[in-house]
Structure 1
Amino acid sequence: MDRDLSALFDPASIAVVGASADPAKWGNAIAVQALRGADRHRVQLVNRRGGEVLGRPCLRSVAELDRVDLAVLTVPEAGLEEAVDGVLTRGAKALVAITAGLAPDREAALVARVRAAGAVLVGPNCLGVVDNHTGTYAAYNSFRPGGVAVLSQSGNLAIELDRLLAARGLGISRFVSLGNQADVGLVDLIAACAADLHTEAVAVYVEDVRDGRGFVSAVTAAVDGGTPVVVLVGGASSAGARGAQSHTGSLTSDAAVVAAACRAAGAHQVRTPRALADVLAALRQRAVPRGPRVAVLTDGGGHGVIAADVLATHGLEVPALSPATQTSLAEHVWAQSSVANPVDLAGYGEVDPDSYARTFAALQDAADVDAVLVTGYFGGYSSGEDGLAGLGPAETAAAKQIAADAVGRKPVAVQSIFPQSEACRVLTEAGVPVFAAVEDAAATLAVLTSPRARGLAPLPPAAAPLGPTGYSAARAVFAAAGVPFVAAREVRTAAELEAAAADLPAPYVLKALGRLHKSDGGGVVVGLPDLPALLDAHARLDASAYSVEEMAGLASGVELIVGARWDPRFGPVVLVGTGGTATEVLGDVVVALGPVDEAQAQDLLRGLRTAALLDEHRGRAALDVPAAARVVSAVSRFAAAHPEVAELELNPVLVTPTGAVALDARIVTQQEGQQWTSH
Structure 2
Amino acid sequence: MRRDLSALFDPVSVAVVGASDDPAKYGHAIAAQALRANGRRPVHLVNRRGGTVLGRTAAPSLSAIGEAVDLAVVAVPAAGFEDAVDEALQCGARAVVAITAGFAETGDTGRARQHAVAARVRAAGAVMVGPNCLGLADNTTDLFLASDTFTPGGIALLSQSGNLALELQLRFHPHGLGFSRFVSLGNQADVTLVDLLADCARHEGTHAIAVYAEDFADGRAFAEAAAEAGKPVVLLTAGRGDASARSAQSHTGALTTSADVVSAACRDAGVELVATPRELTVVLAALNGARRAPGRRVAILTDGGGHGVIAADSVEAAGLTVPELHPPTRDRLRKVLWEQSAVANPVDLAGMGEQDPGSYAQTVAALLAAEEVDAVLMTGYFGGYAHAGGGLGGGGTVLADGERAAARLIADRHRACAKPLVVQSMYPDSPTCRTLAAAGIPVFGATEDAARALAATTPGAPHPGPAPLPPPAAPLRESGYLHTRRALEAAGLSFPAAREVHNEAELLAATAEFGGPYVLKALHLLHKSDAGGVALGLAGPDELRAAFHEMHARFGASSYSVEAMADLSDGVELIVGVDRDPRFGPVAMVGLGGVLAETLRDVVFALAPVTAEHALRLLRGLRAAALLGGVRGRPPVDLVAAAAAVATITAFAAAHPEIAEIEVNPLLVRPHGVLALDSRAVLA
Q: 1:52 to 1:614 in 2, by over 3 A?
A: same
**For 2:469 and 2:116, how far apart are their aligned partners in 1?**
31
Q: 1:342 to 1:498 in 2, by over 3 A?
A: farther
Q: 1:97 to 1:392 in 2, by over 3 A?
A: same
Dislocated runs of 4+, deviation >6 Å: none
**For 1:560 and 1:424, how far apart are their aligned partners in 2?**
51
Secondary structure, counterpart of 1:602 in structure 2: helix
Secondary structure, counterpart of 1:520 in structure 2: coil
Q: Does 1:267 align with 2:271?
A: yes
What are the equivalent positions in structure 2 for 1:315-326 lying under 5 Å apart?
315-321=319-325, 326=330
Aligned AA for 2:437?
Answer: T
1:674 is matched with which residue? none
**For 1:366 and 1:379, how far apart are their aligned partners in 2?**
25
Q: 2:498 aligns with which of 482, 485, 488?
A: 488
1:57 is matched with which residue? 57
Q: 1:397 to 1:564 in 2, by over 3 A?
A: farther
1:675 is matched with which residue? none
CA contact (8 A) 1:194 1:222 kept: yes
Q: Does 1:383 align with 2:397?
A: no
Secondary structure, counterpart of 2:387 in structure 1: coil
CA contact (8 A) 1:242 1:250 kept: no
**For 2:409 and 2:547, how far apart are their aligned partners in 1?**
76
Secondary structure, counterpart of 2:587 in structure 1: strand
CA contact (8 A) 2:154 2:177 kept: yes
Q: 1:386 to 1:45 in 2, by over 3 A?
A: same
**For 1:405 and 1:560, how far apart are their aligned partners in 2?**
50
Q: 1:639 to 1:364 in 2, by over 3 A?
A: farther
**For 2:218 and 2:154, how far apart are their aligned partners in 1?**
26
1:100 is matched with which residue? 101
CA contact (8 A) 2:175 2:443 kept: no
CA contact (8 A) 2:491 2:652 kept: yes
Q: 2:315 aligns with which of 306, 311, 315?
A: 311
Q: 1:369 to 1:615 in 2, by over 3 A?
A: farther
Of 51-60 and 549-558, deviating more is: 549-558
Q: 1:366 to 1:472 in 2, by over 3 A?
A: farther
Q: 1:580 to 1:355 in 2, by over 3 A?
A: farther
Of 438-447 and 100-109, deviating more is: 438-447
Q: Does 1:430 align with 2:439?
A: yes
Shift of 1:332: 4.7
Aligned AA for 2:599?
Answer: V
Task: Give the root-mean-square deviation of aligned CA atoms.
Answer: 2.3
Shift of 1:322: 5.0
What are the equivalent positions in structure 2 for 1:586-597 lying under 5 Å apart?
586-597=600-611
**For 2:216 and 2:325, how far apart are their aligned partners in 1?**
42
**For 1:378 and 1:505, how far apart are their aligned partners in 2?**
76
Q: 1:557 aligns with which of 571, 575, 581?
A: 571
Q: 1:206 aligns with which of 192, 201, 213?
A: 213
Instruction: Write out per-residue CA displacement over residues 266-320 of structure 1, whole angstroms, 9 at most, x where no aligned residue.
Output: 2211111111111111112322254544332222221121122233333433344
CA contact (8 A) 1:382 1:423 kept: yes
Shift of 1:504: 3.6
Secondary structure, counterpart of 2:489 in structure 1: helix
Q: 1:189 to 1:14 in 2, by over 3 A?
A: same
**For 2:583 and 2:233, how far apart are their aligned partners in 1?**
20
**For 1:617 and 1:414, how far apart are their aligned partners in 2?**
42
**For 1:141 and 1:8, how far apart are their aligned partners in 2?**
18
**For 2:340 and 2:567, how far apart are their aligned partners in 1?**
56
Q: 1:366 to 1:504 in 2, by over 3 A?
A: farther
**For 2:509 and 2:408, how far apart are their aligned partners in 1?**
82
Shift of 1:495: 2.0
CA contact (8 A) 2:303 2:350 kept: yes
Shift of 1:200: 1.7
2:537 is matched with which residue? 527
Q: 1:424 to 1:564 in 2, by over 3 A?
A: same
Of 498-507 and 23-32, deviating more is: 498-507
CA contact (8 A) 2:253 2:661 kept: yes
Q: 1:91 to 1:477 in 2, by over 3 A?
A: same
1:27 is matched with which residue? 27
Q: 1:611 to 1:392 in 2, by over 3 A?
A: farther
Q: How many residues align?
A: 667
Aligned AA for 1:564?
Answer: V
Q: 2:480 aligns with which of 461, 464, 470?
A: 470
Shift of 1:401: 4.3
**For 2:357 and 2:165, how far apart are their aligned partners in 1?**
40
2:128 is matched with which residue? 121
CA contact (8 A) 2:283 2:452 kept: no
Q: Does 1:515 align with 2:525?
A: yes
Q: 1:455 aligns with which of 454, 458, 465?
A: 465
Identity of aligned residues (%): 58
Of 524-533 and 633-642, deviating more is: 524-533
Q: 1:495 to 1:123 in 2, by over 3 A?
A: same
Aligned AA for 1:344?
Answer: D
Q: 1:613 aligns with which of 627, 630, 644?
A: 627
Q: 1:487 to 1:218 in 2, by over 3 A?
A: same
Shift of 1:331: 5.2
**For 2:343 and 2:500, how far apart are their aligned partners in 1?**
65
Instruction: Write out per-residue CA displacement over residues 566-592 of structure 1, whole angstroms, 9 at most, x where no aligned residue.
Output: 334323221111212222232221111
Shift of 1:18: 1.0
**For 2:327 and 2:44, how far apart are their aligned partners in 1?**
71
**For 1:175 and 1:276, how far apart are their aligned partners in 2?**
15
1:91 is matched with which residue? 92
CA contact (8 A) 2:135 2:184 kept: yes
Q: 1:651 to 1:355 in 2, by over 3 A?
A: farther
Instruction: Write out per-residue CA displacement over residues 452-476 of structure 1, whole angstroms, 9 at most, x where no aligned residue.
Output: 4122322222222224332122222
What are the equivalent positions in structure 2 for 1:28-427 lying under 5 Å apart?
28-65=28-65, 66-102=67-103, 103-223=110-230, 227-321=231-325, 326=330, 329-330=333-334, 332-384=336-388, 385-388=390-393, 389-406=397-414, 409-427=418-436
CA contact (8 A) 2:384 2:392 kept: no
Shift of 1:343: 2.9
Aligned AA for 1:182?
Answer: A
CA contact (8 A) 1:284 1:432 kept: no
Secondary structure, counterpart of 1:121 in structure 2: strand
Shift of 1:137: 1.1
Of 23-32 and 375-384, deviating more is: 375-384
Secondary structure, counterpart of 1:232 in structure 2: strand
Secondary structure, counterpart of 2:15 in structure 1: strand
CA contact (8 A) 2:227 2:463 kept: no
**For 1:650 and 1:87, how far apart are their aligned partners in 2?**
56
**For 1:627 and 1:12, how far apart are their aligned partners in 2?**
59
**For 2:678 and 2:418, how far apart are their aligned partners in 1?**
48
Q: 1:344 to 1:486 in 2, by over 3 A?
A: farther
Shift of 1:336: 3.6
**For 2:672 and 2:326, how far apart are their aligned partners in 1?**
36
Shift of 1:82: 0.6
Secondary structure, counterpart of 1:627 in structure 2: helix
TM norm structure 2: 0.92
Secondary structure, counterpart of 2:322 in structure 1: coil
Instruction: Write out per-residue CA displacement over residues 3-58 of structure 1, whole angstroms, 9 at most, x where no aligned residue.
Output: 22111111222111111221111111111111222522211111112222111121
Shift of 1:154: 1.1
**For 1:564 and 1:457, how far apart are their aligned partners in 2?**
14
Secondary structure, counterpart of 2:595 in structure 1: coil
Secondary structure, counterpart of 1:521 in structure 2: coil
1:657 is matched with which residue? 671
Shift of 1:195: 2.1
Of 588-597 and 464-473, deviating more is: 464-473
